[in-house]
A = this chain, B = another copy of it.
């Protein structure tokens, strides 16, 4: 693909990793963030010392805290803020976005109060805009592995296959980042978002001293609950068998490095959610998404005992051990239909 101008919105670890990857492919990248101190630091050193220390972002990556500057003449805008920041960024971008800039969502999460996915928030805000998209990117991608050149794979989805294929060409590299296309936008987004809630459950289970058997049971039953929500929302069950579903669950729900998993560990020690999140100094997407998942389960009439139990522990309504107790004490039943 010819040199492209790409705005990456959000200079966290994932946004910075994507900026680095695109820069290394020869594209002109503008990395935007709302935080002027972070941007000044990146401009000064060429490194995001806060989120991706020791990695020179490369000569073709520049940083700005001006959204109009970032979006000017951009062929692409990649949204890489946390899901609770999406509404503000897109609202601010709406008056200056033109159809010449194609949107990519690299954010994983659901809006707590509405249950909307990131692409739904964007559609909501850009009604009337002559714009198609966004293409969503989701998969088992730890940012610090991708930037070290560790082979990684991911999925890009758009209802019409053409935009996803263009993003595949934009992002894919020969040895490091393998991209598959998909048309199930809803399923891909819900997988990437809901698995963060299950990662909290994995942390609770391990923190309480349960075993690999217990964690596998909780995560698998939880995966089936999220598949049901996805199918009710119009997604395809098989999507959850793929990289944005099972793949992401494998990479994060079992990793002690995952922020959501660490929220679960904290809960297992009897600490409360607000305190744990404060001490993390980073966003744990699973916390608001747990609330959104409850909303979706009620909306679609899906029974979700694992998600319910995690939400109840997060809210302090039930003790951490209830997560396992309630799964084990349910009536004997068949595995399928769900």
Interface contact A152-B334, CB-CB below 8 Å: no
Option from B140, B243, B335 in Cβ contact (under 8 Å) with A242: B335
Contacts of A284 in B (CB 8 A): none
Q: Is the CB of B336 within 8 A of A214?
A: no
> Within the complex, what minimum Cβ distance (angstroms) separates A202 from chain B?
9
- A140/B248 contact (C-beta < 8 A), A241-B224, A333-B180, A334-B180 known: no
Minimum C-beta distance from A21 to chain B (A): 13
User: Given A150-B213, A153-B327, 7 other A-B contacts at CB below 8 A?
Assistant: A140-B212, A145-B211, A152-B211, A181-B333, A212-B250, A212-B251, A250-B254
Stretch in A40-48, A109-117, A167-175, A293-301 touching the partner? A167-175
Most buried by B among A176, A216, A254: A216
Q: How far is the CA of A140 from the CA of B219 in the complex (A)?
A: 11
With contacts A246-B246, A247-B220 known, is A213 near B145, CB below 8 A? Answer: yes
Question: What number of copies of this chain does the assembly contain?
Answer: 2
Task: Give the CA-CA distance A140 to B218 in the complex, in Å.
Answer: 11
User: Given A174-B329, A220-B247, A221-B153, are A336 and B140 also a contact pair (CB < 8 Å)?
Assistant: no
A277 at the interface (CB under 8 A from B): no
Within 8 A of B (CB), among A296-327: 324, 327
CA A217 to CA B152, docked complex, whole Å = 7
- What is the CA–CA distance of A334 and B180 in the complex, to the nearest angstrom? 5
Within 8 A of B (CB), among A173-214: 174-176, 178-184, 210-214
Instruction: Check if A223 sits within 8 Å of B251, measured CB to CB.
Output: no
Q: List 16 A-B contacts (CB under 8 A).
A: A142-B212, A151-B327, A152-B211, A153-B216, A174-B329, A180-B333, A182-B334, A219-B247, A220-B250, A223-B241, A237-B237, A240-B241, A241-B241, A241-B246, A246-B246, A250-B254
- In the bound assembly, the distance between CA atoms of A161 and B337 in angstroms comes to 13
* 1/0 contact string of A246-258 vs chain B (CB within 8 Å): 1111110011000
A220: shortest Cβ distance to chain B, in Å? 4
Q: Is A155 an interface residue (CB 8 A)?
A: yes
Please name all residues of chain B whose beta carbon is closer than 8 Å to the beta carbon of A172 when the two chains form the complex.
332
CA distance A148 to B172 in the complex (A): 47
Is there an interface contact between B216 and A248, defined as CB atoms closer than 8 Å? yes
Is A238's beta carbon under 8 Å from chain B?
yes
Determine whether A105 belongs to the interface, using a CB cutoff of 8 Å to chain B: no
CB-based nearest B residue for A214: B151
Highest count of chain B CB atoms <10 Å: which of A140, A329, A330: A140
The residues in A between 98 and 154 inclusive whose CB is less than 8 angstroms from any CB of B are 140-142, 145-146, 148, 150-153
